[in-house]
Amino acid sequence: NAGVTQTPKFQVLKTGQSMTLQCAQDMNHNSMYWYRQDPGMGLRLIYYSASEGTTDKGEVPNGYNVSRLNKREFSLRLESAAPSQTSVYFCASSVTGLGDNEQFFGPGTRLTVL
Amino acid sequence: GENVEQHPSTLSVQEGDSAVIKCTYSDSASNYFPWYKQELGKGPQLIIDIRSNVGEKKDQRIAVTLNKTAKHFSLHITETQPEDSAVYFCAASRGRHGSSNTGKLIFGQGTTLQVKP
């Protein structure tokens, strides 16, 4: 079991460029999440998908879009990157969307926007 | 909105000493409180959690306490070892009793723990 995998591991973009962060899980989990981690601010939820076919906004959704491609995959898209989106992005999954389920995190994508 | 405050932001202890990290939460409907450990270059990993119907939970050298009245909870690590060095995050959610917030964890700001050999 690979758990939660994310690609790429590192990315440098110029302001205005677009890119998609990929996430996949092989644990047959129903729910998936995208977080960003910034120094001194902990982890903040960008978007989540409680189950296949549904997506909802989290705390900081502006500037992002998501796609729950199937039960395994959940992608995060930056349409026009801004320096404020420089961050480490984590994907996570859990068995269900109930708040007391353990979330399993991927290794992260470190994104720099110049 | 919901908020979780975590203190201290950095903590340095000698190997063998105890470490305590404290969190307070604002949403009185929160009823699930996990703690995650993040090692360098990795994603966070759950180490212990507690539900609001329990005041204390222990797992070997790690314990968590919850004071619902004061809306705060703490992580206690005893007999610290160098491998305990990491960033620790507390979090809170409404667990199974929420509706619109179901599934959402609100994280604290993180505590960088350094255990000196």
Flag whether residue B109 sits within 8 Å of chain A, measured between CB atoms: yes
Q: How confident is the model at residue B70 (pLDDT cuts 50, 70, 90)?
A: very high
Q: How confident is the model over B9-67, as pLDDT tens digits?
A: 999 999 999 999 999 999 998 989 999 999 999 999 999 999 988 899 999 999 999 99
Nearest in space to B43 (alpha carbons), one of B86, B90, B105: B86
Among chain B residues, CA nearest to A31: B103
Provide residues of A within 8 Å CB-CB of chain B.
4, 31, 40-45, 48, 50, 58-59, 90, 92, 94, 96-103, 105-108
Pick the residue of B51, B104, B112 with the most A CBs within 10 A to test the interface with A by mutation. B104
Flag whether residue B23 sits within 8 Å of chain A, measured between CB atoms: no
Q: Could you give the CA distance from residue A79 to residue B39 in angstroms, rounded to a whole number?
A: 31
B100 interaction partners in chain A (CB closer than 8 Å): none
Among chain A residues, CA nearest to B44: A105
Phi, psi of B31 (to 5 degrees): -140, 10
- Count of other CB atoms within 10 angstroms of residue B14: 9
pLDDT of residue A48: 93
Q: Could you give the CA distance from residue A31 to residue A3 in angstroms, rounded to a whole number?
A: 14
Nearest in space to A25 (alpha carbons), one of A46, A48, A2, A47: A2
What's the per-residue H, E or C state across chain B?
A: CCCEEEECCEEEEECCCCEEEEEEECCCCCCEEEEEEECCCCCCEEEEEEECCCCEEEECCEEEEEECCCCEEEEEECCCCHHHCEEEEEEEECHHHCCCCCCCCEECCCEEEEEEC
114 residues of chain A, pLDDT tens digit each: 789 999 999 999 999 999 999 999 999 999 999 999 998 889 999 999 988 989 999 999 999 999 999 999 999 999 999 999 999 999 999 998 777 789 999 999 999 999
Mean residue pLDDT across chain B? 92
Buried b (16+ CB within 10 A) or exposed e, B91-104: bbbbbebbeebbbb
- Sorted by sequence, the CB contacts under 8 Å of residue B94 that are 6+ apart come out as A99, B27, B29, B30, B31, B32, B101, B102, B104
pLDDT of residue B2: 84
Cβ-nearest to B43 among A31, A42, A106: A106
Flag whether residue B19 sits within 8 Å of chain A, measured between CB atoms: no
Phi, psi of B84 (to 5 degrees): -80, -10
Residue B97 has pLDDT above 60, yes or no: no
Cβ-nearest to A107 among B1, B4, B43: B43
